[in-house]
Structure 1
Amino acid sequence: MKQLIDLQLFAAEDNLTITTDLEPAISVDFTSRIAENIDELRQILSVNELTPMASGTLIKAYKLAKANSPAQVGEGEDIGLTKITRKLAWTKELGLLKFRKVTSAEAIQKIGSQKALNDTDAKMVSELEYQVLDDFYTNLATGTGTATGVGLQAALANAWGAMSVYYKHKTVSPIYFVSSLDVADYLGSAQLTTQTAFGLTYIENFLGLGTVVVSPNLAKGTAYATAKENLNGAYIPSGGDVASNFGLTFDTTGLIGMTHSVITRNATVESLLISGVMFFPEYVDGVFKVTVGGATASTGK
């Protein structure tokens, strides 16, 4: 004889914690904050949008050159051809930046989760952001233009003049990347209104020349100048196979992937952070290395 089974006897208990309740809030919080920071940097550089690309994609920078200067001709005569060449300057593979950190149970017990886990995660995040900037300055250093001047104001004015010649057929917005030490020297005799984003200090319309980004990554006496229109950005989306295999949490932008895992065999919490963001100039001859004369050199880019 068949009996009806009371399904209520097998129903889940009220207030039972299930897997969907265990959303990795810390990962969500960090990925959102990092994505916002990177978006702030994108806005400073005036990069319209970051282009999603597959891991291993080759990023390419070029150099434009005029091969000849044909003579002017008289009325009705054939006009000589002006030849412009676009040559490859460098290629760089777009790869993943990976950071991993492990926090022990003893560290959490001793000083609490905030200091042991969250604060150290924040430091790891800052290392990733530093690496994104450092790679960007390395790409700027491939620029082939030059300018020089005694003191910051004269150096940037001469860079502006050099860019005006290079971009004479375009309307562009100049941007300069300057060592914080050179700006500190300038601030000894002047006052400036600054803003901050992505951990960077920047100055809008510095002396009417354009945007100045102040960076501790750069060596004293060395700056870079280019047009915002010459800057691009690309990234490897954090979703897809990598996210599914490593359980990465990522925000809607897909710029950053992060996960926290409890490792029971050794009583630790592992933090994994993955990103693939790169900023770069499209044309290296549109980037000018600026020498700030009178400055004592220091280590840096």
Structure 2
Amino acid sequence: MAAEANLTRDLGTGLSIDFTEQFGQRFRTLTELLGVQRTIPMASGTLLKTYTSSVTLDGTEVAPGDIIPLSEVKLEDGPSQEIKWDKKRKAVPMEDIQKYGFSRAITMTDNKLLNEIQKGVRTKLLAQLATGTTTVSAVGLQAAMAQAWGAVTAKFDEDDVQVVSFINPFDAADYLAQANISTQNAFGMTYLENFLNNRVVFMSAEIPQGTIYSTADGNLVAAYVQMASGEMAQAFDFTTDSTGLIGVTHDVNKQRLTAETITAYGLVLFAERLDGVVVGTIEASPVPDAGV
């Protein structure tokens, strides 16, 4: 008997394609919002360097024919990060596949896994931004954001600076309650565009309340291991999208009667100049003296 027409085949590959396309599109959206200008493929194990910089210009007025004195430019190394493999695996048992259907059971749990991978990328970024070496403080969100904007602009005064910031959602709540501003979502974070002179402001509960992280869009770099080609893609039959940011494969474990999703990626989003990262503190309004 001939095979029935229109059979659905290679569903695992289809699910892998959907996973990688979702992750790639979400990450592209994030980097476009942040204005990331450098997305660089690197080998696993590469050390990602950060630095602080300073320039001291010699102000001597040079007479005709005299030797021009040197001005000093300092680049000091900051903490480095190693781009490492991040591997994840999850399994759906036969019972859930029977209960929900194969495609739905895998898709539901894949979405949860995708969200956790996103969280890991942004958690590392926020942890690094917390080590910024420039600090400001002011009373209230608007004043603190203005100080942070000014400090970033001063650090990159030779560039066409667009400032991006990260804040705790509770710090924005009072302000947003009184303003006609719509929020959007990307990569698991709520964000505001063109807010208080910033290109974009992201909100995350991972940021301590009363704290702002601000930097220039050109200071952010994405480094990743290319998953779309090479020995690993051949050895493990990874599916990737056009970005090659993440490799995904779906398989079944017959001994355990589970359907598994396996992902591998090496991806770091970081600020290159730590002195160009401003850590702002939102101070509370002073309490009036009861005796006054």
Q: Under a length normalisation based on structure 1, what TM-score does the superposition of the two structures give? A: 0.86
Q: What is the Cα-based RMSD across aligned positions, in Å?
A: 2.2
Please tell me whether residue 70 in structure 1 is matched to residue 58 in structure 2.
Answer: yes
CA contact (8 A) 1:149 1:155 kept: yes
Task: Kindly report which structure 2 residues correspond to 1:198-277, keeping only aligned pairs within 5 A, or say none.
Answer: 198-239=187-228, 240-277=230-267
Q: Which amino acid aligns with 1:277?
A: L
Please tell me whether residue 85 in structure 1 is matched to residue 62 in structure 2.
Answer: no
The structure-2 alpha-carbon separation of the partners of 1:49 and 1:84, relative to structure 1 and needing over 3 Å to count, comes to closer
CA contact (8 A) 2:93 2:259 kept: yes
Q: Which amino acid aligns with 1:72?
A: T
Which of 88, 105, 109 is the matching residue for 1:99? Answer: 88
Please tell me whether residue 135 in structure 1 is matched to residue 124 in structure 2.
Answer: yes
Match of 1:22 in 2: 10
> Separation in 2 of the partners of 1:244 and 1:74?
63
The CA deviation string for residues 129-172 of structure 1, in whole angstroms up to 9 with x for no partner, is: 00000111122122101111111111010111212322222221
**Offset of residue 90 of structure 1:** 1.5
- Identity over aligned pairs, percent: 37
**Offset of residue 15 of structure 1:** 3.7
Match of 2:282 in 1: 292
**Offset of residue 177 of structure 1:** 1.0
CA contact (8 A) 1:157 1:209 kept: no
**Offset of residue 207 of structure 1:** 2.6
CA contact (8 A) 2:149 2:197 kept: no
The worse-fitting range, judged by mean Cα deviation, of 140-149 and 75-84 is 75-84
**Offset of residue 106 of structure 1:** 1.3
Match of 1:148 in 2: 137
Match of 2:21 in 1: 32
The CA deviation string for residues 78-134 of structure 1, in whole angstroms up to 9 with x for no partner, is: 543210111211211101221110111012223333553211111011000000001
Task: Kindly report which structure 2 residues correspond to 1:102-181, keeping only aligned pairs within 5 A, or say none.
Answer: 102-114=91-103, 116-181=105-170
**Offset of residue 49 of structure 1:** 4.4
The structure-2 alpha-carbon separation of the partners of 1:252 and 1:169, relative to structure 1 and needing over 3 Å to count, comes to closer
The worse-fitting range, judged by mean Cα deviation, of 238-247 and 269-278 is 238-247
Paired residue secondary structure (1:204): strand
The worse-fitting range, judged by mean Cα deviation, of 150-159 and 247-256 is 247-256
Match of 1:191 in 2: 180
CA contact (8 A) 2:124 2:268 kept: yes
> Separation in 2 of the partners of 1:174 and 1:229?
9
CA contact (8 A) 1:42 1:49 kept: no
Higher Rg of the two aligned structures: 1
> Separation in 1 of the partners of 2:176 and 2:208?
17
Q: Under a length normalisation based on structure 2, what TM-score does the superposition of the two structures give? A: 0.88
Match of 1:51 in 2: 40
| Structure 2: 5+ residue stretches without partners | 286-292
Paired residue secondary structure (2:97): helix
CA contact (8 A) 2:213 2:279 kept: yes
Paired residue secondary structure (1:126): helix
